[in-house]
Structure formats: structure tokens, C-alpha cells
Amino acid sequence: MSETSIFTDVLRWLPFVLWGFGLNVLMSVLAILLGTTAGVFLGLGQVSHTRVVGGVSRLATQLFRNAPWLVLLFYCIFLMPYSITISSATYNVPSWLRATLGFSVPVAANFSEIVRGAIGSVPKGQWEAAEALGYSRSVTLLRIILPQCTTRMLPPWMNLYALLITATPLASIVGVEEALARTQAAVQSEAQASFLIPMYVTLLMMFFLYTYPISRVSNALERRFRTV
């Protein structure tokens, strides 16, 4: 097999794989939105002074942070219903959506830690000054502390997204037809050994070109926001 024909073969399969990559991106965007929202509540819950809320939030965060992403994925795939019925209409829950929910769980747990860390990094003097001015704890949190946290949370949040997008190929193991699954299909279809490396390298490059800029921006933001 000459070099050029392998190149054209890869090119031929490229749109097919790229469409699959679109599914990876879709899953990651949905999962980061869901996970971030849930993570905010979990994170705030962790710093709550109410014993039950604090305890449950911390427990949930620890549990889902220390669980492997693939295990959580399996959990959601196997134990989530295949279809749900809302007011007499039955909707099929496609596997990619179940995978997305599966990804949202560790994202929420990780973001919960990011929130907790950011809140903890605000100097104690801020709390004291607010208290001296008569603010209640929850208002202090909402109006004074959290606004200061947003810049601190941005770089780790972007890192979390980078982690997430590189985790999405795990969905291929549970049957989602995303970029990796499609690459495997392409490889099996071509059935020649010399196709393997170029195809996988192409897939690696796809992820690299998408994720690397995100890492760079995150690093740049981190340097900019550093208060030291």
C-alpha cells in the first residue's frame, strides 16, 4: 500500500468520524452544563452550617469523586430506564443521553470541590467585615463571597471540561456511536494493519486540536487571575 492511498483512505473516513466527534462534543457540553448546575448546589451544600445538608453534600461529593468514571457510566447505563413515560407519551432515552447523564455525576462532584475550594480561598476578613456590617451568612455568601469566586473557579472549570471531553470516548464501551466507536468501525471495515496507526493518530489529533486550545486558555487565565 502506498503512502498516498492510505492518506486518501483516512480522508475518506474523516467526515464519518468527525460526525461522531460532534456527538462527543454534544455529550460534553450537556454534561458540563448539567454537572456544573448540580455541582454548584453540592458545593454550597458542603459549606452549609446545617449538619444534615453539609454531611450529605460532603458524602455525595466524596463518593462520586472517588468513583471511576467508567463505573459511574455503567451504573447509569444499566440502572437507568430505557424509556420514560411523561403524561402518556413514551420517550426513548437514547444511549448517548444516558451516557451524558452518567458523565454529569462526576462532573458535579468535581465542580462541587472546585466551588468549595474557591469559597475557602476567599480571605476570612471578608466574612468578618460582612458580619460586622450586619449581613446574614447566606446573603454574605451570595452577594460578597461568590462573586469573588467566579474568577477563581474559571480555570479549574475549564480544566474539568478538558477532562470531560477526553473522557467521552468511554461512552463507546457502552454502545454509543461516537468518534472512537466510528474509528473502530472504520478500522474493521478496512481490515488492513497499515490503516490502524494513521486512523488512531487522526483521532488523537482530533481531540488534541479541540482540547489543547482550551488548556492553553485555562492556563493563561490562571496566570492572569493569580493574586500573588
Partner 1 sequence: MLELFRQFALDLKASGINLTILYDAFDFERFLSGLATTCALVVLCTFFSILIGAIGAAVLGLSRGPAAMLVRAYVALIRNTPLLVQMYFFYFAVGSLMPVGHNAIGLPVPMIGNFTWAVIALSLYAGAFNVETFRSGIGAVHASYEEAALALGYSRFKAFRYVVAPLGLRFSFASLANNLVDLTKATTVAYAIGVAELLYVSNQIWSDSLNTFEMMNVMLAIYLLLTGIVVWIIGRVQAAMRLPGFGAN
Work out how close the CB of 169 gets to partner 1 at its nearest, in angstroms, rounded to a whole number: 5
Nearer Cβ to partner 1 (38/180): 180
Should residue 99 be labelled a site residue for partner 1 when binding is judged by CB under 8 A?
no
CB of 199 to partner 1, least distance (A): 8
Which residues from 160-179 bind partner 1, rule CB under 8 A? 162, 166-170, 172-173
The H helix count followed by the E strand count for the chain is 9, 2
Q: How far is the CB of 20 from partner 1 (least distance, A)?
A: 12
d(CA 176, CA 168): 10
Which CB atom, from 154 or from 167, has the smaller least distance to partner 1? 167
Give me the 7-46 binding string for partner 1, x by CB under 8 A, dash otherwise.
Answer: ----------------------------------------
Query: Cell 474568577 belongs to which residue?
Result: 151
Residue 36 vs 168, nearer CB to partner 1: 168
**Phi, psi for residue 89 in degrees, rounded to 5:** -105, 130
Stretch that binds partner 1, among 84-92, 130-138, 145-153, 204-212 (CB under 8 A): 204-212
Binding mask 183-202 for partner 1 (x = CB under 8 A): -x--x-----x--xx-xxx-
Q: What's the min distance (Å) between Cβ of 36 and partner 1?
A: 20
Distance CA 112, CA 40 (A): 6
203 binds partner 1 (CB under 8 A): yes
Residue with cell 426513548: 92
CA-closest candidate to residue 111, choices 162, 180, 65: 65
Which of 7, 82, 91, 208: binder of partner 1 (CB under 8 A)?
208
Q: Write each residue from 42 to 81 as x if it is in contact with partner 1 (CB under 8 A), else as -, in one continuous string.
A: --------------------xx--xxxxxx--xx--xx--
Measured CA to CA in angstroms, residue 51 lies from 15, 21, 46, 59 at distances of 53, 44, 10, 12
Binding site for partner 1 (CB under 8 A): 62-63, 66-71, 74-75, 78-79, 162, 166-170, 172-173, 180, 184, 187, 193, 196-197, 199-201, 203-204, 207-208, 211-212, 215
